[in-house]
Amino acid sequence: MKIGLFGGTFNPIHRCHLTIALQVKERLSLDRILFIPTGDPPHKSSASLAEARHRLAMVRGAIEGTPGLMISEVEIHRPTKSYSIETVRTLQDEWGPEADLFFITGLDAFLELPTWREAAVLLRLCHFVVVPRPPSRFAALSSMPLLPPLDPRALAALDRNRDDRLEVAVPDGPGLTLLALPPCEASASEIREKLRKGITPSNLLPASVESYIIRHRLYQEDTDRTGVKG
């Protein structure tokens, strides 16, 4: 079984999240995608971050009825900060040795991989799938630590949409796929800003997520971290 791991705050989940998940699933012939919302930050509050229970509910509503899309609460229930290495190890134990894990991440986050906890180990545990995240460019990977030397011409071809996929062999690991996807114009921060201004960006949100945000009055100027207007 081939399982994609798609983590994030999903604050809120929007149509581009779903588009990326479905495109990766199809192009890599994955059996399923696990959406993994982050939990509440320990000992810290963020006015722009909806509580985990709300983000979990929005993801659940957004993927309901779509074959192959599932949700994992592994990070929601972790009482401390979640690290990717811990999440991958937990899911390896949960799914067993027959499952191949594909860690889906944006290019901007992947460029920070050398700073992740046990990054070299993580590269050996699961197959990475890196998708575009403008303005970051694949060309930046040409001199990235932890990776073998990459051909700048092949990376430029991805950036210029002349190629749509590059497979990279990782020593002692399952590999790395650089996947160029069609642009999808949506940003959770821009969506939150529109909502603060009283604008509901219906074209960017699944209908169930839009109705949930309205019902619980999320992302409003006078909304506290519980999501309830005070």
32-73 tens-digit pLDDT: 999 999 998 765 556 689 999 999 999 999 999 999 999 999
Can you read off the two tokens belonging to residue 72? 């994992």
Quick one: the chain helix, strand, coil %, rounded to 5?
40, 15, 45
In this structure, are residues 102 and 129 in contact, taking their beta carbons and an 8 Å threshold? yes
Output the pLDDT for position 185.
Answer: 80
Task: Please choose, from the candidates 165, 88, 161, the residue with its C-alpha nearest in 3D space to the C-alpha of residue 126.
Answer: 88
- Is 128 in a helix, a strand, or coil? strand
Digit-coded pLDDT (tens) for 6-17: 999 999 999 999
* Tokens standing for residue 208: 């169930």
Residue 76 confidence (pLDDT) above 90:
yes
Count of beta carbons in the 10 Å neighbourhood of residue 24: 20
Flag the least confident range among 83-87, 104-108, 127-131, 225-229.
Answer: 225-229
Interior CA angle at 111 toward 26 and 135, to 5°? 75
- List the structure tokens of 15: 């149509």
pLDDT tens-digit map of 175-214:
999 999 988 888 899 999 999 999 988 899 999 999 999 9
Question: For the chain, what is the mean pLDDT?
Answer: 92
Residue 57 CA to residue 127 CA, distance in Å, equals 28
79, with CB counted inside 10 A (0-12, 13-18, 19+), is exposed
The pLDDT score that the predictor gives to residue 46 is: 64
In angstroms, how far is CA 29 from the centroid of its own chain? 18
Q: What ranges in 64-175 are assigned the alpha helix state H? A: 84-95, 107-110, 119-125, 152-159
Which domains, ranges and CATH numbers included, belong to the chain?
2-179 (3.40.50.620)
Contact 172, 126 (CB under 8 A): no
pTM score, whole prediction: 0.92
Stretch (H or E) spanning 225: none
Phi, psi of 165 (to 5 degrees): -165, 140
Centre a 10 Å sphere on the Cβ of residue 92 and count the other Cβ atoms it contains.
14
Residue-wise pLDDT for 81-123, tens only, equals: 889 999 999 999 999 999 999 999 999 999 999 999 999 999 9
